[in-house]
Structures are given as structure tokens and as C-alpha cells.
A and B are shown apart, each in its own frame.
Chain A
Amino acid sequence: MSQSNRPFNRRDALRMLGAGGAAAAAQMLPFGIGNVLAAGKLTVGVLYVGPRDDFGYNQAQAQAAAIIKQMPGVKVVEEEKVPETVAVQKSIEAMINQDGASLIFATSFGYFDPHVLKMAAKYPNVRFAHCGGLWTQGKHPANVASYFGYIDECEYLDGMAAAAASKTKKLGFIAAKPIPQVLRNINAFLLGARAVDPKATVRVIFTGDWALPVKEAEAANSLIDQGVDVLTCHVDSPKVVVQIAERRGIYSCGYHASQAALAPKGYLTGAEWDWQTPYTSLVKAAMEGKPMVNFLRGGLKEGFVKPSAFGPAVSAEARAKSTAVKDKMVKGEFVIFKGPLNDNTGKVAIASGVSHAQQDPVLEDMKYLVDGVIGQV
């Protein structure tokens, strides 16, 4: 293997470098200057960690990018499948230097620290919007905003629809990693289910990473074999899980975007992001030169999340129950996480009389699965 007759040598290396080197020498000009905005024009750069048509996390962001593209004077440049490495920094710089972007949407959670923080410090005149991060006053640069939604509201509604449709009362949840955001969704799903049927249980399988289609398929089949008859998930692309649920004739609830098209029979409803709300407000602020809102959060009320339209398998009674709770959530009158609530090891998770509203930072640090969830953190 190693003993080639004609090894690659220094000259080959130089030869390959030479072509580009000449081009570079001709254009050794300073860059990153003169990045001045023409009035009423804005170039927005959007980076995705996966493919834009993944029926999931990235598609939800791309749908919002497609909406801001329609705004007058806005040009959008996009790059998909940018890994959470130095590639993020270089692609952001390229958007700024080569395309003149002055607002960047860094849509993957892992882009924030260190990549977005480094770029924001280096380009103080560019605005950076990041999905999911916890922007903190005094700690993080003023030209960075973090946007996120209280999607556990939709998970609660999903749980209600799932428990109503289920015959075995065994629900399944396929999750990537046992991190607070994911645990909060699983717990909200269980609490919604128990609001309809106090005997409902949720079986959880953690796959270990955000995009592992083979493991997700194995987990889905294994849960169905255990008698689960409604599946939902928190992975980057719910496509595999929803497809398998449909093929095996059980119900499913979607996540991130709508997967209704993949399961016309069994899709009950789903928890979708509605990113056009933060996207349009951030673009408007940039175009009008207004100061950046650094912390954008919202649920159903603020239009950051939305449930998928009900599928044919959801009964009229279940629709009415779910809609009633949704109306309360929209009015801001509904609290999902309130005591008394035990975790699934028997310890008190939330004491009696304690109630955590959506904005409560305690919820951002959730480390437990509530009673009724079968699984381990």
C-alpha cells in the first residue's frame, strides 16, 4: 500500500499550490472594510447544520428564511450542512466579506460558543442571531441575539392527542440526548397525556445524537414491539420515526416542522416552530437601524411555536379538549410545570404549591424525567 512506484513528492505539492497562489497574489487586498449598508437594503446570511429539506429542525429554519426573502430589499444567502467547527467561523466571515451580509442567523445550538461569540467580537457592526442560546447581559456581546420558543406547550398538546388516540396507553418518545431542553419536552408530553388519561406512560429511548437515522429506526421498531401505539421524537429529523410509525400502522406526533405528508393516516398533530416571528422582527430592526433585541422568547401566545393541524385520527372530543387548553395557553393562563410533581425515581421534582411559569429559568436546568416516564437520564 505504502510503496508506490512514483510517490507524491514536494514538486507535486508545489504544483497544486501554484495555480491558486498566483491568483491570490493578484488580489491581496484588504477585506472586510467598506461594509456599508445601502439604505433599505439588507443581506442576511443563514447557516444550517443539516440539509434544508430534512423535514425537521433545519427545514423549520429554512421556512422562515424563505419568508424573509420575500421582504422588500432583503437578500438572503444560505449555507447548509455547516459542521460546528471552524467552518462556522469561516462561513460567517465569508458571508460578511464576500456577500456583504450584515445580519447572520446561526441556527444550530452548537454554533454559539465559541463560534458566534468570536465572530460577534470580531465584527461588532454585524448583527448575529442565534437559535437556542441563553444570551446573558454583560457576559455576551450586544450585537448578539438569541431566539427560542417554548415548544413544550405544543408537546403538552401532543401528549393530550396521543393519549386520546392510544389504545394501549403506552406512548413512545425517541430522543437524542438527555439535556434540559429535551427532558422538558418529554415531561411536557407525559403531563399532557396524563391530563387525558392518568394511566398513560411514556417510554423513552435516547439515541445519543441528533441525527442517527438507523438508531432512530431501531428505537421506533423496538418501542412498537413493546406495545407502544403512538410515537413522537426529539431528534433533528423526525422523518424516519414518523415513516416507521405509519408503516407499522400506529399513530405519530411530529416535531420541528410538519411531517403530516409522510403519514397521512396516523399523523395526529405535532409541535412546530414558527420562526418567522423572530426572523421578521430581527430583520425589521436591522433594516430600520434599531437597537437589537438580545433575548427573544415566546410560545403559542407570541407566535414562536404552533401545533400541526389535526390529522384524521384525532376524534372531535380530543380536538375540543386540546383546543380548550391551547386557548388558555394563548391567554397565558396555563402552567405546565407545577407541584406536586415527582420524578420517576420517586423524588420530589416540584414541591406542592410551587408553580413554574414558562419564563422561569429553573426550567432551563431540568435534569429529571417525571413520574410516568419509563427511562433513565
Chain B
Amino acid sequence: MKSAWQLAAPFAPVSAAIVAAALLFALFLLVQGAAPLQALELVIQGAFGSAFAWQNTLSRAAPIMLTALCVALPARAGLVIIGGEGALALGALAAAMVPVVGAGWPAYPVLALMALAGFAAGGAWMALVAWLRHARGMNETISSLLLAYIGIALFNFLVEGALRDPASLNKPSTPPIGELYAIGPMPGFDVHWGLAWGLVVCALAWLVMRHTVFGFSVGVAGGNPRAAQMAGLPVGMLLIASCFLGGGCAGLAGMLEVAAVHGSANASLLAGYGYAGILVSFASRHHPLGIIAGAILVGGIGASGSLLQRRLDLPDAATLVLQGTLFLALLAFETLNRKGLRRV
């Protein structure tokens, strides 16, 4: 049996980080001439203080869970991927094209095809990064970021050109997918089904990466590629597979944005979810279940930032300060935990 202290120990750094971030943010507000206690109360109230606040938070968190996996899954294979936004864009575009081709087909097969198309497009884009790394020795961090720019440019080029709905005058978009293929809110809870998809995919990612031979092999390849090769593991394929799965998750996030929020593919859905995913994945140390909590934290900060602006007339930048302090504190205390407390 573990003692109470041993059970509580893993949470200590997280709690300490939250307290430290709250103190730093309060100090910042004090310097800015805002009321720190009232502001901190609003942060809690805006993010988690009511059923509505929870719906607000979770709606904002849903897509970030999936884009964070685009960082976390390749990270297991030792790759630092930061180009999830490109995979999201192309996944969204591929998904939005399915109802155009399959107009009139029943809803569920079309939705399944949309999800597959989104997953495959995003996955292929990121698999390209892994292939460049493995076959050509190209740094995956740089190439994933550059491919994200190319992916977004391709997205804009097609949405404003060949795939544009002529009726979308001042907001170039692909043709609307229509009510039949739209994903609605979950019953009794005003958050779209994308949240459930995000939770399920995170859980699946955890199972695959931590409890299967495949996941173990990816971990070995990431930990020491040479040893993995000596052990007879197909390192190249493992890198490509992990990037494909990660990119697929970001592509799925794009598909959900199309089906549950926007109803077509257009530039509005490129709102930085891919980049927010980087933050969440690193802060949760690339753990698929930790990502759920990290995404909820980012969603919560978004929701409470909204309330801070409205009640205290603070600029949006104050929200960024809060987010920055919190994640810096999380990373700092986690490092402390590994380097300092562990030796005790």
C-alpha cells in the first residue's frame, strides 16, 4: 500500500504551479491597477463557476484535444511536430468535399466518410514530415511548420478558387454541407459532439501508445532509434505511422470544425487550434490523458478571459498573460519535481 503522501505527491507540482500562477497574475493585475481578488474570482467563475461556464469551457477545449495529439503522438517517437494547423486545414477541406460529392447519401455513412477523409488528409500531410525526416534527414520541426504554411496557402487557394461556392460572396467558402450532415450538440448539454470525439480519441491514443506492442515500439524508436533498429524494429515505418496518426487527429479536428461549427470550409476555421495544441501537449508532457486536462485549462482560460474583459474592461492581452504565467509555472514546477523532489 502506498502512503497518502506517495499518492498525493504527483499532484503537488500541479497544485503549486496553479497557486504560483495565481499569485503572479494577481501581482500583474495589481501593477495594472485592477482588483486582483475580484479578477481571480472571475477567472474561476467564468471557466468553471456554473453549468454554462463548463459548457463554454468545454466547447473551446474540444478541438484542442485533437490538435494536441498531433504533437503528442509523434513526440512518443521522439519527433517535435509543430505544424498541426496545416493538417487541420487540409483535413477540414477534405471533409468538406465529401458531402459535395456524396450529396443525397444518408447521414451516417457520409459523416463516417468525412471523418475518414479528414483523418487521411491530415495524416498524409504529417506522414510527409516523418518521411522527409527519415528518408532525407530533414529536421521535422522546421519542415512541419513550413508544411503548415504551405497547407494553409493551399487551403486558401482552393477555398478562394476551384472549390469556392459561387454564392459565398464576401466570405469565400466551400459549398455548405447542409443540415443533414451537420453534427449537433450532445443531448442535455450544449456542447457539440466534437467534445465526445476528442475525449474518445484521447483515450484511444492513450491505450494504443501505452498499452499495445505498437505503442511500445514507437516509444522505443523514439527513445533510442539506433537500439530500436538493432532490435529489428522498422523505425522509419514507426515514425511515419506516429506522424500519420497525429496528423490524422488534427485532420479530424478540422472535420469536426466543418461538421459541428462552420458548416463549410473557410478561413474562419484556421483560428490557431493547431498552435494551441503545441502548448497543451508540452504542458501535459505529451500524455494523451493529461492533454484532456490541459485542453480544458486552455478552454477555461478562454472562457474566463471573456468574462474578465466584460466585467473588468481588461484587454484581451490580460488573458494571454494569465495563460502564459500558468503554463510557464506548470512547466517550471514539473521540471523542479523531476530534478529536485525526486531525489528526496
Contacts and interface: CB of A to CB of B under 8 A. Distances in A.
Nearest to B48: A20
A4 B338 contact: yes
Contacts of A13: 289-290, 292-293
A21 B160 contact: no
A212 to B, nearest CB: 12
A177 interface: yes
A134 B261 CA distance: 20
B156 interface: yes
Interface in B2-16: 7, 10-11, 14-15
B47 interface: yes
8 contacts: A8-B287, A23-B44, A31-B52, A81-B316, A83-B268, A84-B268, A91-B306, A110-B268
Interface in A125-171: 132, 134
Given A27-B51, A87-B302, A80 B316 contact: yes
B225 interface: no
Given A11-B10, A87-B302, A114-B262, A2 B75 contact: yes
B53 interface: yes
Contacts of A376: none
B45 to A, nearest CB: 8
Interface in B174-192: 192
A296 to B, nearest CB: 17
Contacts of B20: none
B11 A12 contact: yes
A79 interface: yes
Of the listed residues A1, A11, A27, A78, the one surrounded by the most CB atoms of chain B closer than 10 A to its CB is A1
B302 A209 contact: no
Nearest to A20: B48
Interface string A334-377: 00000000000000000000000000000011000000000000
B48 A24 contact: yes
B303 A8 contact: no
A85 interface: yes
A80 B75 contact: no
Interface stretch (A93-101, A238-246, A269-277, A314-322): A93-101
B271 interface: yes
B212 interface: no
Contact of A5 (B44, B170, B342): B342
B179 to A, nearest CB: 11
A227 B240 CA distance: 50
Nearest to B160: A177
B286 to A, nearest CB: 5
A211 to B, nearest CB: 12
A90 B59 contact: yes
B338 A365 contact: no
A90 B170 contact: no
Given A3-B219, A13-B290, A110-B268, A19 B284 contact: no
A179 interface: yes
B52 A94 contact: yes
A109 B56 contact: no
Interface of B: 7, 10-11, 14-15, 44-56, 59-60, 72, 75-80, 153, 156, 160, 169-172, 192, 219, 222-223, 257, 261-263, 266-269, 271-272, 284-287, 289-290, 292-294, 296-297, 300, 302-303, 306-307, 309-311, 313, 315-316, 334, 337-338, 342
Contact count band on A:
35 or more
Interface string A88-119: 01110111011100000000011011100000
A9 B59 CA distance: 23
Contacts of A27: 49-51
Contact of B286 (A2, A77, A112): A2
A213 interface: no
A72 interface: no
Contact of B80 (A1, A19, A83, A178): A1
A98 B285 contact: no
Closest 9 CB pairs of A and B: A20-B48, A8-B290, A84-B268, A13-B293, A8-B287, A83-B271, A81-B316, A77-B310, A16-B293
A313 to B, nearest CB: 33
Given A10-B289, A31-B51, A179-B171, 15 more contacts: A3-B223, A7-B287, A9-B10, A16-B296, A20-B300, A23-B44, A24-B54, A51-B316, A80-B316, A83-B271, A89-B59, A90-B56, A94-B52, A178-B160, A179-B170
A4 B10 CA distance: 13
Interface in A24-46: 24, 27-29, 31-32, 45
A208 interface: yes
A24 B51 contact: yes
Contacts of A4: 285-286, 334, 338
Nearest to A101: B310
A365 B311 CA distance: 41
